[in-house]
Each structure stands twice: as C-alpha cells, then as structure tokens.
Amino acid sequence: MIQVSLFRFLQRSAFGALLLVLLVLLSTQSFADDERYIKINRSIELFGRVYQEIINNYVDEIDPEKFMRAGIDGMLNALDPYTVYIDERGRDEVDLLTTGRYGGVGITIGMRNGAVTVTSVTDGYAAQKQGIMIGDRIIAVDGVNVEEISLSDIRSIVRGEPGSEVAFLIERESHPDYLEFKLIRESIRVHNVAYADFIDDGIVYVKLDRFSRGTGGETRQSLREMQTKSEITGVILDLRNNSGGLLDAAVEVTNVFVPRGSLIVSTRGRTSDSVRRYVASQEPLLPEVPLVVLINENSASASEIVAGAIQDLDRGVLVGKRSFGKGLVQTVAHLRSNEQLKITTSRYYTPSGRSIQTADYLDESPEGLFAVDVDSLHSEYKTSAGRIVFEGKGVDPDTTVTNPERSRYAGQLNRHAMIFRFVNRLVHSEEFADRQPVFDDILLDRFFDFLREKNFEYKDIGEEMVDNLREAAEKGNYSSQFFNDLAVLEEYIKEGKSHAFERHRDEIARELQVEIASRYAGDRGKIETELQHDVQFKTAMDLITNKPLYTLQLTAAD
C-alpha cells in the first residue's frame, strides 16, 4: 500500500510529478517478492525526505528543479551510460531519430578556433537560400550572445517549430560589418544515406550516417537506382563513425542484403515483452553480390547490429577496426509533457547468439549494484560457416586495417582551424569566388605563407619531453652539464620543428584538398576526395575485386 503522507509530500514538492509517475507504475505491478516491494517503497520515501530536508534547510538557497535534475542524473550515472533523463532540450534528437525530421534552418554548427562557426549548410533550405555560408561565425541567435551559452543551448535556440522565425548575427571573412539574417524555420528532412554511387566499374559505395526512420528504404532505393544505371558486381557499405540509432532501422538495412527468413537480431531483458526475434521479412536486393562492410571504433549500436548480422550469416566481409561495443537497447518512457526517460531495457544478440556489449559500465558501477557475472560475457560463438567469433567486446573485423593517424602537426593545424580559415579566404576572394581552385604546389605554398602571416605556432612533442626532463632535473638537482646538454638537444628540436611543414607536406595537402572539395563540391565532393587516400577503403576495393580472396575470408579454418 502506498502511504497517504508520502503522496501529500510529493504533491507539494517540485519533483512530485516525476516520483508520482514512478509510484503509480509500482502500484500497478504485481510483486512476487514482498521484501523487494518494501525496499522500493522505503527508498522512495527516504529519497523524498532527503530532498525536502536539503531544499528547506541547506545553508544556501537551492533551485528545486535543478537540484532534482542533479539527483536524477546522479542516480542514472550509476547505471549504463545510455539510460538518461531527457528534458525539452534533448527531445529534438529523439524526434530526429523517430521521424527523420526536425524544425530548423539547415545548418550544422561547431567550434572553430574558439568561435561558433557554421560547418555545413544543407541545400534547399532557408540558410542556403538566403546566403549563410560555411565558415560564417555566429555572434548571436535571437539576440542571445553565443559566447555566453553552450553549443547544445545554441542548437536549441536555432531549432524550433517550422514556420517560426529565428534571427542570426553573422561575422564573415573579409566582410567589414556584421551581417543580419532573419530565417524562417522549415521541416528539415535528414538524409541517412550520405553517399550512394558507383565508385568503380560495377562497385557501388554506400555510406550511412545514421539509422533513423526510413534508413532501410533509403538504402534499398539507392541501390535500385544504381541497378538502373549499370550492373552491380560488388557493394561497399561504410558504417564507420556511424553511432547508430533505431533498432528497426538496423533490421531494415540488414534485410536489404541477407536471405529472407534469416534471423537478424534478438533482444532479451528482464521482462517477457523484451524478448523478441527480428527476422528478415523481405527478399534481399543483391543476394549473390559480394559485400564488404567498413567499421571502426566509432561504429556503434545499430551499426553493430548490421555488421554483426552480416558477419554471423557469412553474408559479407568486415574490414577496418573493432567496433565500439554498444549492445544495449533503449526504450523511451514519457514522464511529463516535455520530459522523457530513455532507459535500457534489454540486450541485443547477433544471429550466432553473442552479445557485443563491452562490460565497462558493470565494472565501474558501485559494488553490488548489478547481479551480473562480468566474466561470463566473453564466450566463443560460430558463424553459419563455422568461423569463430567472440562476444563482450564489440565486433571484430575479418580483416583489421588501420588508417594512418593524424600527425601532431596536422592536429594542431586542425585545432586552430588554420586549413578551415585559409579555405574561407579562398572562397571569399574574387579569384575563387565562382570557381574551385586547382590544387597544386603553388596553392600549398600559399597556405604556408598564410601560416606565417597568422604567426601559427605549435608545441612539438620533443619540446614537451624537454620541458618534462628539465622539470625533473630541477627537482633532482642535476648537474649544470645535464642542463647544457639539454639546451643542445632543445636546439636540435627547434631546428627540426622549423621544417615541420615540409615533413608533413603530403598529409597537409590531403587535408587541404578535402576541405576545398567540401566547400566547392559539397559533401559528395568531400567524400570522394577522402576516399582517394583511405587505406581501409582501398583494402575493401582490393578484397571485393579478388573473388578467391573474398571467398577465403568467409571460409572457416580447418
């Protein structure tokens, strides 16, 4: 029985609505264990009393709503990282996944050299039609100075009901005055398929950015369009850096490739309604065409459902790096009008029966919170052809390939947005206002001159090591000779640093080419330019065009 005194307290408190929802849910459940029910009831009452005591008597006045949010976040932090409370500001992301649309003006923003900057503009929407450009620095949105709020808060202001107005104050390269824009928000449709086209004779490359509503249909339609152009002899599906989305969308995408009736994924949780089997319900579009799936450490959730199913059913070969390892399924529970709880309700399992969830959150949570044997999550399983795969650590590719890491020098160029700012100058110059610059050594030398003009400086790793050595030597009271030798070493490092641009010239050239392509040819041009230097993609191409090697990858060892 729920105590009346507790109900009265909850009705008066700022967080009453949330806990009342929880109590109502508890009162409608049938508890087989009375002791467990008593523990839950006592815990809720204790939580309420602590909250009331602090709100009423703490030395400093506390905002009741914000304190409640802190309490919710603290409680959820003891669980997995995907169980989260969602307020009105976070609903846009949920709506984006479930509807494939959001209300906005068609821009993406990010930080570039400490400034809030437009990093992409979607064709056909208000921002593009009225002249906002990549590289524009946002000063204010609807009169709010963006320096005073976070990126997520800025996005919340920019997004809103289609048909409503939002004002921007913009600073633009080579323009003397601020620019003012008043844009009408529209319903922005998000395209899940970032790229789909022939990349070579008969080979189609498909890149998926996310798994929201309609992704499966987009993927199937894109491949059908390719079939009308020419025969498809191979498909490369790129899921790298795709953090996932809807489970249903992952099932639909997998269904494009695997035989009808194949088990794609199953889910199991504590309740009976969490146990489900998702089976391919349609005929595959290209059942016999070789398939290579690209994954990396940022391929997560729905991406791993697709990759795991393709691997377990021996439908294609996985190339790249081990995936992220998110094997948990979330359900959104509505609390109040603008508040939701995204709660993990089950684990998903690939067709072989393995879970790919990394067990980190189980290890890091308070002792005794979970009654789970972590060591039990690392068993061997077998694909349809008998190949051995493992659970509990993400999805391992069949062929591991690592793209070269960005150098420290190029990383510093990126951190200070030097390439981004240089291309801004090109775009806004009369010379290249209406034509894409030809990339050559002359343009690269112009970028070097730009770096000198901007007095670009960076700290070499050797300089950091010398600083650490000097600090250690000072604490250890080393001899003066040691410091003399250290000074000589420092001069060698400085000499080498002065030639950093030449040492990294090829890498800088690649990144500059990509940025130029993105400005003058959009996302399509950017992707095509990136692929020219992509080791993982080139491995996929070599594999998909070598039938004996491709077949060998899908054959179990004797």
Residue positions annotated with a catalytic role: 301, 312, 326
Q: Which backbone phi and psi does 103 adopt, to 5 degrees?
A: -90, 120
Q: Which two tokens stand for residue 158?
A: 């920019």
**Maximum Cα–Cα distance for the chain, whole Å?**
81
Helix/strand/coil for 106? coil
104 beta partners: 186
Whose tokens are 């990383």? That residue is 411
The Cα–Cα gap between 527 and 517 comes to 9
User: What are the Cα distances from residue 558, in Å, to 265, 345, 380, 553?
Assistant: 28, 40, 17, 13
Backbone φ and ψ for 339, nearest 5 degrees, come out as -130, 140
Q: Are 10 and 19 in contact (CB under 8 A)?
A: yes
User: How far does Cα 533 stand from its chain's mean position?
Assistant: 22
| Nearest residue to 9 via CA among 60, 37, 47 | 47
318 by DSSP, 3-state: which?
strand
End-to-end alpha-carbon separation of the chain, Å? 63
Tell me the residue type at 474.
Answer: E
Contacts of 288 (CB under 8 A, 6+ apart): none
Taking the C-alpha atoms of residue 301 and residue 221, their distance in angstroms, rounded to an integer, is 23
According to DSSP, residue 504 is labeled T
In this structure, what is the dihedral angle of CA atoms 411, 415, 420, 425, given to the nearest 10 degrees?
Answer: -120
Q: Nearest-CA neighbor of 328 among 29, 81, 66?
A: 81
Count the neighbouring beta carbons within 10 Å of the beta carbon of residue 186.
20
Characterize 266-293 residue by residue with b for buried, 16 or more Cβ atoms within 10 angstroms of its Cβ, and e for exposed.
bbebeeeeeeeebebeeebbbeebbbbb
Q: Do the beta carbons of residue 132 and residue 119 sit within 8 Å? A: no
